[in-house]
Amino acid sequence: MFYKNVNQFRDDNGYEIDGAWYPRVTSILSIKAKPALYRYYAGHDSFESAEAAKNKSAEEGTLVHEVIEKLFAGEKPPIPDSVKPVVAGFEYFQKEHEIIPHQIESKIFSKEHGYAGTIDVLAEVDGKLGVLDIKTSQAIYRDYGLQTAAYVQALQEAESMPQLTRWILRLDQSRACLNACGARLREKGGNTKIKENWKNGSRNCPHAWGDVTGDIEFKELGGYDHDIKAFLAAKTLWEWENAEWISKIA
């Protein structure tokens, strides 16, 4: 990544908290290879078209985040037509679980390890307290464990904080094939992708797509000790990669 000056590096990669600069969790994790992202770029005609689609997808994901976080807060925001199916799925999820939010879109930091981040929600879900991270991806990726472990570590540095768990709430929307072959059509970022059901032989189906419906996946993550070690290792590598810029931060 090219930076014009140290101020741009600071702004792009961290937060100023109580007079000290802390690198962001998401910036730190950018050091890790992402094979799925490489395949995504390889599937486009050009780097420019891939970037445009990725940016549009990010905008759509941000919109979902903003609406869902307001619903968590008990607000009643206007629901854009483009996200009504996924919001309907979330509202069903809310009815199925007892959820008590404690913090929403809250900035946190680890003094012990020197990093910061913004959590989506700290909540009690069915009687357990933990970090609930909202994703709008097409799957729950292993990398999410590193991000959420970093958040849990930072929060649990407070003596009053009890033991926390971690969840991923994946919110998406797609169209199911009306022929019941199990295939789904996903439209995001201006791209259309069919997820076939190999067991049902859906590739041989003359698909007919139904209405867009919400796809909700809720998963509690285990393996915290392994994940936090991996995150801190990534932080060491990120600091090595950016040592010249970091040395210029007063």
Complete domains list, the chain, with CATH: 6-246 (3.90.320)
pLDDT tens for 173-214 read 999 999 989 999 998 877 888 888 888 888 889 999 999 999
CB of 205 closer than 8 Å to CB of 177: yes
Predicted pLDDT at 195:
87
Distance (Å, whole) CA 226 – CA 59 = 32
CB of 185 closer than 8 Å to CB of 174: yes
Q: How far is CA 104 from CA 89, 113, 143, 150, 212, in A?
A: 20, 23, 22, 17, 28
In angstroms, how far is CA 203 from the centroid of its own chain?
30
Residues constituting the chain:
250
CB of 125 closer than 8 Å to CB of 99: yes
Predicted pLDDT at 188:
83
Picking from 69, 78, 58, the residue whose alpha carbon sits closest to that of residue 134 is 69
Predicted pLDDT at 118:
97
User: What is the amino acid identity at position 250?
Assistant: A
The pTM (predicted TM-score) of the whole model is 0.91
Residues of the chain scoring pLDDT < 50: none
Predicted pLDDT at 132:
97
Predicted pLDDT at 171:
94
Predicted pLDDT at 189:
78
pLDDT tens for 100-123 read 999 999 999 999 999 999 999 999
Predicted pLDDT at 37:
66
Structure-token pair, residue 132: 């609930």
